[in-house]
Amino acid sequence: MCESTAYLVTPEGERKIMDYVVDIVPKENGKLSLTDILGEEEIIEGMLKEVRLLEHKIVIEKAM
Protein backbone atom coordinates (compact mmCIF):
# COMPACT_ATOMS: atom_id res chain seq x y z
CA MET A 1 0.00 0.00 0.00
CA CYS A 2 1.08 3.57 -0.60
CA GLU A 3 -0.77 5.38 2.17
CA SER A 4 1.12 7.50 4.66
CA THR A 5 0.50 8.99 8.08
CA ALA A 6 0.55 12.77 8.43
CA TYR A 7 1.98 14.51 11.50
CA LEU A 8 1.76 18.17 12.48
CA VAL A 9 4.77 19.78 14.16
CA THR A 10 4.03 22.64 16.56
CA PRO A 11 6.11 24.28 19.31
CA GLU A 12 4.49 21.76 21.70
CA GLY A 13 5.73 18.78 19.67
CA GLU A 14 4.57 16.39 16.95
CA ARG A 15 1.07 14.88 16.76
CA LYS A 16 -0.63 12.57 14.30
CA ILE A 17 -3.35 14.30 12.30
CA MET A 18 -4.38 11.72 9.70
CA ASP A 19 -3.81 8.07 8.81
CA TYR A 20 -3.91 6.54 5.32
CA VAL A 21 -3.19 9.80 3.46
CA VAL A 22 -3.25 9.34 -0.32
CA ASP A 23 -3.40 12.97 -1.57
CA ILE A 24 -1.91 16.30 -0.51
CA VAL A 25 -2.95 19.40 -2.44
CA PRO A 26 -1.66 22.93 -1.73
CA LYS A 27 -4.43 25.47 -1.20
CA GLU A 28 -4.46 29.25 -0.94
CA ASN A 29 -3.17 31.12 2.11
CA GLY A 30 -0.62 28.50 3.17
CA LYS A 31 -3.05 25.63 3.66
CA LEU A 32 -2.83 21.99 2.62
CA SER A 33 -5.70 19.67 1.78
CA LEU A 34 -5.10 16.10 2.97
CA THR A 35 -7.34 13.28 1.78
CA ASP A 36 -7.34 9.74 3.13
CA ILE A 37 -8.08 6.45 1.38
CA LEU A 38 -11.81 6.74 2.26
CA GLY A 39 -12.11 10.25 0.77
CA GLU A 40 -12.18 12.13 4.08
CA GLU A 41 -10.57 15.55 3.70
CA GLU A 42 -8.86 17.76 6.26
CA ILE A 43 -7.53 21.27 5.67
CA ILE A 44 -4.35 22.10 7.60
CA GLU A 45 -2.57 25.44 7.95
CA GLY A 46 1.08 24.68 7.38
CA MET A 47 3.78 23.69 4.96
CA LEU A 48 5.40 20.40 4.07
CA LYS A 49 8.52 19.98 6.12
CA GLU A 50 9.45 16.40 5.28
CA VAL A 51 8.15 13.40 3.33
CA ARG A 52 9.68 10.01 4.14
CA LEU A 53 8.41 7.66 1.47
CA LEU A 54 9.97 4.48 2.83
CA GLU A 55 8.56 5.20 6.30
CA HIS A 56 5.17 6.34 4.92
CA LYS A 57 5.49 9.52 6.99
CA ILE A 58 4.48 13.08 6.10
CA VAL A 59 5.58 15.90 8.39
CA ILE A 60 3.79 19.25 8.19
CA GLU A 61 5.02 22.32 10.04
CA LYS A 62 2.24 24.45 11.49
CA ALA A 63 2.01 27.96 10.04
CA MET A 64 2.90 30.63 12.56
CA distance 4 to 51: 9
pLDDT at 2: 78
CA atoms within 13 A on the CB side of 41: 9
Tell me the average confidence (pLDDT) per consecutive run of 10 residues in the chain, 64 residues long. 91 96 95 98 96 97 85
Whether pTM > 0.75 for this model: the answer is: yes
CB atoms within 10 A of CB 11: 6
| Residues facing residue 60 across a β-bridge | 8, 48
- Supply the DSSP symbol for 56: T
